[in-house]
C-alpha cells in the first residue's frame, strides 16, 4: 500500500493561495499631498511606485509563512496516511477488557492503559467510511461508541473508559458484540485483554482477533477474610494465594478498627495458597482489615476487610391465650427474646421486631412486622369448612421442607389478601396462609386457629415457624456483610425508618427511598467498608450497619497472561500486526500549522514595532 489521502477533495483548499497572492500584489492608493521642498520629491516618487495598483511580488516573510500555514492546514484536512501494519482491516468491534486484573502494573503504567493504546492504534487504522464500535467489558458491559466513523468520537470513548474492581461479564459483552457485528457483516471483533476469559463463550459472527497485554504472572492475593464468634471471643481466618512460579513469603498485617493489632509471617507455595487463624481478637471488634506487605503488580487484592456482625437478640411479642405449641416453637428459635402477653392486656410502648397475634383481635395493632394466626375482628366474619388442600407453593422459600399434604384443618375464616400478597397455601374455600409486603412492615396470616388443626402435631410446624419468623424478622438492616464489586445489596429497613443513607468508602453518600419494596443498593464498585444508616422521621439515627466489598476472586488475582482464548469451538491466539493498515499524519500537520501561526504572529508584531519606532 502506498501513501495517500483519505479526503483528497480537501486539497482544493490550496486554491485559497491565489487570493492571498492577489492581496499582496494590490496596494492601497493614497491621496496626493503637496510638499514644500524638492528634497522630498525622491521619497514621493518611491511612495507612488509602491502604491501602484499592481506590483511585482517581492520577498516577504509574512507571505511565505501564511502560504505555509495554508499548505499545512490543507494537507491536514485531506487526512494523509502512511501505510502501517494492523491487526485488523476494515470496520472493527473492539472489546476492551475492563476487569480488575487489567489494573496490574507489570506493563507501564498499567495493562488497561496498554490496552487503551492498542485500541487507539486500531481506531487510527480505520479507513474512510469504516465503522468502529467500542465495548467496555466490566461487571456490567457498556457500549461506549456504536458504529461510529468519526475517529474523534472513538478516541473520546476510549479516553472515558475506566477499569473496574471486579470481574468482567464476558457473556453479556459477547452478546453486545454479536449484535454490533450482525449490523455490519464485514466488521471484525477484536478482544484486547490479558486473556482471562471463560472457556465457554459463544462464537461471534465473522473473524475474531485477540490482542494480548500483560507480561508477569507473580502476584500475591488475599482471597478470603472472615470473622466468626468463638468460645473465647471473635476469631479470624485469612487465606492468601500465590500465582507466581516461585515460593513467596509475605507479612500479613491485621488492623482492628483502624489500629494495628498483629503481624504474621506467611509462606505461600508456587501456584498454591496458605491460611492462618487468629484467635485473640478484641471483644469490641467491629471491622477487621488485612494487608499484605510489600508490592506486587496488582495492589487491588492486597487489602481485604471483614465486618463482625454479632447476632443481636431479636425481640418478639407473642399475644396468645395460652398456646403452648406456638410459644415453645417461637421461644426455641435462636437469637429470639420472647415476651408473652394475654389477649386484652395493653401492648408495651417498647417497639418489638415482630408481633405474633394468636386468636381474635381485641385491640388495634401497631405498625411493624405482624404474624396473625386465626385472627378475626368484632364485625361479621364468614367461616368456611372446605379446607381440603387445593394448592401449596412448595417452590416458595417460606414452604421449604414444609409438607402440607398431611395437614388437616377443621375450619378457617374468609380473609381477603391485600394487593400484592403471595398465597402460599390455598384450600378449596379460600387461602389458608398468605404473606404480604407493606410499607409499615411485613405481614403473614394463618386464617385458621391452630387448635382447629393438627398442624402443631406435624413435623412441618416448627419448620414453618422458623421459615416465617426468619422472613418476618428484620435481618439487621444489611442482609449480607461481605460482597463482591458490583453485587447488589438488599436492605431491610426497620419499621420506623423513613430514610436510608449508604456511605461509600470514599465518603460519597447515597440516599435510598423507603417504600413498600425493600430498597436495593447497587453502587458497590469500590472496594472497602460501606455504612448503612437508618433515620427516623424526627431525624434521629436508628442504627448504623457496616458491610464490606472485597475482590476475593482467585481468577482475577491469577494475572498470568493467557496465550489462547476460546471463542465458540475455535482457539484464538494473540494476533500480530501483519495486516495492512493506515497511520494518519494529520495531527502532526495540524500541530505544525499551529506552530507556524505563532511564528507568523511574532514576525508581524516585530515588524510593526520596528515601523513604529522609526516614525
Q: Give dist(CA 556, CA 486) in Å, integer.
A: 14
The partner residues of 189 in beta bridges, in order of sequence, read 93, 208
Residue 582 lies in a domain: no
- Following DSSP, what letter does each residue of 144-200 receive, concatenated? EEEEE--HHHHHHHHHH----SS---HHHHHHHHHHHHHT-TT-EEEEEE-S---TT
Residue 152 domain flag = yes
Alpha-carbon distance of 142 to 133, in angstroms, equals 11
The grid coordinates of residue 125 equal: 487504522
Instruction: Give the DSSP H or E segment for 461.
Output: helix 460-472
State how far the Cα of 497 lies from the Cα of 492, in Å rounded to an integer. 10
Whether 243 is in a domain gets the answer: yes
pTM: 0.63
Host domain of residue 544: 482-549
Is residue 305 situated within a structural domain? yes
> What's 486's domain CATH number?
2.60.40
- In-domain check, residue 477: no
pLDDT at 614: 43
List the chain residues with pLDDT less than 50.
Answer: 28-29, 578-579, 613-615
| 580 part of a folded domain | no
**Sheet strands (E) in 287-335:** 287-292, 303-307, 314-319
Last residue of a domain, one of 261, 292, 310: 310
Same domain, 398 and 448: yes
Q: Which H helix or E strand runs over 87?
A: none
Same domain flag for 387 and 279: no
Residues 462 and 340 in one domain: yes
Same domain, 212 and 227: no
- In angstroms, the CA 519 to CA 522 distance is 10
Using alpha carbons, select from 524, 529, 552, 484 the residue that is nearest to residue 225: 552
* DSSP assigned state of 11: G
CA distances from 465 to 216, 217, 335 (A): 55, 52, 14
Q: Which residues pair with 427 in a beta bridge?
A: 389
- Look up residue 452 and give its three cell numbers: 382447629
CATH number of the CATH domain containing 465:
3.40.50.880
Q: Tell me the CATH number at 306.
A: 2.60.40.10
Statement to judge: residues 212 and 234 lie in one domain: no
Cβ distance 435 to 442 under 8 Å?
yes
Give the contacts of 481 (CB within 8 A, at least 6 positions apart). 306, 307, 309, 546, 547, 548
The three three-digit cell numbers of residue 153, written as one number = 468520537
Residue 15 lies in a domain: yes
Residue for grid cell 379460600: 430
Same domain, 252 and 373: no
* Total domains in the fold of the chain: 5
- CATH number for the domain including 155? 3.40.50.410
Same domain? For 211 and 229 the reply is: no
Asked if the structure places residue 380 within a domain, the reply is yes
**Any idea how long the chain is?**
615
**Rounded distance between C-alpha atoms, residue 19 and residue 17, angstroms:** 6
Q: How many Cβ atoms from other residues are within 10 Å of residue 317's Cβ?
A: 21
Q: What is the pLDDT of residue 579?
A: 47
Q: What is the pLDDT of residue 29?
A: 47
Say if residue 321 is in the same domain as residue 355: yes
Helix (H) or strand (E) holding 566: strand 565-567
Calculate the alpha carbon distances from 244 to 14, 99, 214, 561 in Å: 60, 20, 14, 12
**pLDDT for the residue numbered 615:** 41
63 with 107, same domain: the answer is no
Q: Are both 202 and 100 inside the same structural domain?
A: yes
pLDDT in tens, 2-18: 666 767 887 888 888 88
- Is 166 in contact with 554 (CB distance < 8 Å)? no
- 333 and 466 part of one domain: yes
Domain end call among 452, 472, 492: 472
Q: Are residues 337 and 464 in the same domain?
A: yes
Q: How far apart are CA 435 and CA 443, in angstroms?
A: 5
Amino acid at each position: 500500500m502506498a501513501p495517500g489521502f483519505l479526503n483528497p477533495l480537501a486539497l482544493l483548499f490550496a486554491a485559497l493561495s491565489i487570493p492571498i497572492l492577489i492581496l499582496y500584489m494590490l496596494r492601497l492608493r493614497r491621496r496626493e499631498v503637496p510638499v514644500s521642498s524638492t528634497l522630498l520629491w525622491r521619497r514621493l516618487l518611491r511612495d507612488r511606485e509602491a502604491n501602484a495598483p499592481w506590483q511585482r511580488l517581492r520577498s516577504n516573510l509574512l507571505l511565505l509563512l501564511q502560504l505555509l500555514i495554508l499548505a499545512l492546514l490543507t494537507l491536514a484536512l485531506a487526512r494523509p496516511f502512511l501505510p502501517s501494519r494492523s491487526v485488523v482491516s476494515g470496520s472493527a468491534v473492539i472489546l476492551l477488557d475492563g476487569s480488575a486484573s487489567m489494573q496490574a502494573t507489570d506493563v507501564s503504567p498499567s495493562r488497561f492503559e496498554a490496552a487503551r493504546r492498542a485500541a487507539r492504534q486500531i481506531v487510527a487504522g480505520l479507513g474512510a467510511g469504516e465503522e468502529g464500535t467500542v465495548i467496555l467489558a466490566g461487571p456490567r458491559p457498556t457500549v461506549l461508541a456504536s458504529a461510529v466513523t468519526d475517529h474523534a468520537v472513538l478516541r473520546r470513548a476510549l479516553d472515558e473508559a475506566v477499569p473496574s474492581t471486579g470481574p468482567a461479564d464476558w457473556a453479556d459483552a459477547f452478546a453486545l458484540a454479536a449484535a454490533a457485528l450482525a449490523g455490519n457483516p464485514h466488521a471484525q471483533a477484536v478482544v484486547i485483554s490479558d486473556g482471562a476469559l471463560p472457556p465457554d463463550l459463544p462464537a461471534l459472527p465473522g473473524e475474531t482477533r485477540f490482542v494480548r497485554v500483560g507480561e508477569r504472572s507473580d502476584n500475591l492475593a488475599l482471597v478470603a477474610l472472615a470473622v466468626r464468634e468463638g468460645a473465647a471471643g471473635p476469631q479470624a481466618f485469612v487465606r492468601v494465594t500465590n500465582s507466581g512460579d516461585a515460593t513467596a513469603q509475605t507479612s500479613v498485617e491485621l488492623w482492628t478498627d483502624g489500629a494495628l493489632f498483629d503481624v504474621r509471617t506467611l509462606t505461600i507455595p508456587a501456584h498454591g495458597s496458605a491460611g492462618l487463624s487468629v484467635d485473640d481478637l478484641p471483644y469490641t471488634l467491629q471491622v477487621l482489615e488485612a494487608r499484605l506487605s510489600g508490592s506486587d503488580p496488582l495492589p487491588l487484592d492486597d487489602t481485604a476487610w471483614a465486618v463482625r456482625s454479632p447476632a443481636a437478640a431479636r425481640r418478639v411479642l407473642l399475644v396468645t391465650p395460652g398456646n403452648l405449641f406456638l410459644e415453645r416453637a417461637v421461644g426455641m428459635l435462636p437469637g429470639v427474646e420472647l415476651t408473652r402477653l394475654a389477649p386484652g392486656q395493653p401492648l408495651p410502648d417498647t417497639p418489638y421486631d415482630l408481633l405474633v397475634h394468636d386468636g381474635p383481635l381485641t385491640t388495634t395493632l401497631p405498625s411493624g412486622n405482624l404474624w396473625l394466626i386465626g385472627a378475626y375482628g368484632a364485625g361479621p366474619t364468614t367461616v368456611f369448612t372446605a379446607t381440603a388442600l387445593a394448592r401449596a407453593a412448595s417452590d416458595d422459600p417460606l414452604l421449604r421442607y414444609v409438607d402440607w399434604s398431611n395437614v388437616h384443618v377443621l375450619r378457617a375464616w374468609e380473609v381477603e389478601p391485600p394487593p400484592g400478597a403471595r398465597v402460599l397455601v390455598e384450600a378449596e374455600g379460600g387461602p389458608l396462609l398468605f404473606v404480604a409486603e407493606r410499607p409499615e412492615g411485613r405481614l403473614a396470616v394463618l386464617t385458621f386457629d391452630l387448635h382447629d388443626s393438627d398442624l402443631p402435631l406435624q413435623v412441618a410446624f416448627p419448620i414453618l415457624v422458623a421459615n416465617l419468623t426468619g422472613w418476618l424478622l428484620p435481618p439487621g438492616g444489611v442482609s449480607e456483610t461481605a460482597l463482591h464489586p458490583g453485587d447488589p445489596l438488599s436492605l431491610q429497613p426497620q419499621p420506623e425508618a423513613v430514610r436510608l443513607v449508604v456511605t461509600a468508602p470514599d465518603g460519597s453518600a447515597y440516599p435510598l427511598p423507603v417504600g413498600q419494596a425493600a430498597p436495593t443498593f447497587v453502587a458497590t464498585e469500590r472496594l472497602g467498608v460501606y455504612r448503612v444508616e437508618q433515620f427516623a422521621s424526627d431525624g434521629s439515627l436508628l442504627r448504623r450497619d457496616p458491610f464490606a466489598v472485597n475482590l476475593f476472586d482467585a481468577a482475577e488475582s491469577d494475572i498470568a497472561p493467557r496465550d489462547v482464548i476460546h471463542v465458540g469451538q475455535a482457539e484464538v491466539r494473540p494476533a500480530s500486526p501483519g495486516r495492512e493498515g493506515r497511520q494518519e499524519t494529520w495531527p502532526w500537520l495540524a500541530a505544525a500549522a499551529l506552530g507556524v501561526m505563532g511564528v507568523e504572529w511574532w514576525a508581524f508584531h516585530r515588524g510593526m514595532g520596528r515601523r513604529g519606532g522609526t516614525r
